[in-house]
Amino acid sequence: MKTAIDVIRRLKNAGFEAYFVGGAVRDFLLGKNPHDFDVATSAAPEQVKGLFKRTVDTGIQHGTVLVLAGGAGVEVTTFRTESDYSDNRRPDSVAFVKSLEEDLKRRDFTINAMAMTEELEVVDLYGGRKDLEEKLIRAVGEPDQRFREDALRMLRAVRFSGQLDFAIDEYTLSSIQKNAALIGSIAVERIKMELDKIMANKHAVRSIDYLSLSGLADHLPSGGLFKTDWSTFQPTGDPLSGWLYAFWHNSKDVSALSAYKFSNEEKIILKKAMAAASLESWNPWTYYTYTPKQLELAAALTGRGDGWIEEKVSLPIESKSDLAINGRDLMDWTDNKPGPWLKEALGEIERRIVFRLLENEKDKIKDWFLDEYNRDK
C-alpha cells in the first residue's frame, strides 16, 4: 500500500488527481488486506510515464500504465469513459476524461465503483458503502446498460455473490435474467476463468445456485451440469474440485466439459481423480499410483477425509526411480536378454515393495527374485 500511496502523491504533486479505485477499496472497507492496488488519475498515459522512471505499457490503449517502484507494480489508469459495446464484450472506443465521476459511473457494481484518497477518505458516488453494509451486489446505474456493455459482468455478479457471500440485488438479478442469452457472445476462455473463480470460492454453492436462478446456466456450454444438486459440494480452493463434482454427479466424463478447453494437464488430473474416486477402497497401490492433487480431489469428492496424506508420505518408495535395482541388474543376475519378462518382473518387485512384502534393499530383492526366477524354470 505504501508504494501505491507514493505513486498517488507524486501524481498529485504534479498537479493531477489520483485515487485508489476498484477492488482494493472494497476489500479495505471490508477489513481485508488488499493484495493489489489500482490507481485512477486525471493524468494521461504519457504524463504518467513522464513522472516515473520505470513503467510498462500493459494496456496503454485503454489508458493503463504499470508503474514499477519500491519492488512492486502499481497499475495507473487514466480516467476514462467508454463508447457503445456493439459486441457486448468490449467498447468500440475509449475516451480519456478529467472527471472521477465519469470514470466511476462506467464501472460494473457499486461496491467496485468507489475511490479512496491516500488519506483513506472514501469517495462513494453510487452507494457502494451502503451496499457493502447490506451485503448486496448491485449494478451501477441501469443494469441493462451495464450488462449490454460487457455481458461477462453478469457472470461476475454471480462470482462476487460467492466470493463475498453477498446476495444479488433483485433489480440487478432481474436484469441478468432478461439479458442472460448475451453471455453467448463472450469467449469461452473468459467464461471459464470466471467459473474457475466461482468454484474456488468458499461460498461457491451460493454462486452456482445463482447460475440457475439467473438463467445463465441455460446459455453456458454444458450448462446442465450446473443444475444438479450442489448442496453437498465442499470447495477446496481448487476450481478443479468443482468441475469434478459437476460431472461426477451428472454421471459424465471429462469429455462433457470439452467446450471449456481444459489444458491437457487439467484433463489428466480430472480423469485420474475420477478413477481414484471410483475405487471402492484405497490401498498402498492407490496412494502410490495417484498424485497428491488427484487424491485430494477424489477424497474431497467422496468424503474420505485427509487420511490418505499420511499413507502417501509413509510409502517405502515414491516412484520406480527409487527402486534399489533396475532392469540391468535383473539381466545380469539371469544372463537373460530384454523382453516382456523384464517389465513384468520389475512391476512385481515394485508392487511387493509398495505393499511392504519386500524390502527395498538390493541384496534382499536379488534373493527374492532369483528364488522366484529359478522356481519358474
Mean pLDDT of the chain: 92
User: What is the three-class DSSP state of 65?
Assistant: strand
Q: Which residue has the higher pLDDT, 133 or 222?
A: 133
CA-based nearest residue to 196, from 254, 262, 121, 135:
262
pLDDT of residue 45: 93
- Which domains are assigned to the chain? 1-126 (3.30.460.10), 135-229 (1.10.110.30), 263-315 (no CATH), 320-375 (1.10.246.80)
Q: In this structure, are residues 315 and 331 in contact, taking their beta carbons and an 8 Å threshold?
A: no
Q: At which residue does the C-alpha cell 488527481 appear? A: 17
Residue 61 pLDDT > 90, yes or no?
no
C-alpha closest to that of 114 among 97, 133, 100: 100
Q: Model pTM?
A: 0.84
What's the confidence (pLDDT) of residue 36?
A: 83
Give the other-Cβ count within 10 Å of 84's Cβ.
10
Phi, psi angles (nearest 5°) of residue 73? -120, 135
Q: What is the pLDDT of residue 207?
A: 97
- Who has greater pLDDT, 250 or 214? 214
- Which residue carries 440457475 as its cell? 212
Element (H, E) at 172: helix 170-179
- Per-residue pLDDT band for 295 (boundaries 50, 70, 90) equals very high
Residue range 93-121: mean pLDDT, rounded: 90
pLDDT (0 to 100) of residue 259: 87
- Which neighbouring-strand residues pair with 80? 96
Sign, CA dihedral 344-347-351-357, equals positive
Torsion angle in degrees (nearest 10) through CA of 94, 100, 101, 102: -10
- Reference 74, options 104, 42, 92, 48; nearest CA is 48
Are 116 and 177 within 8 A, CB to CB?
no
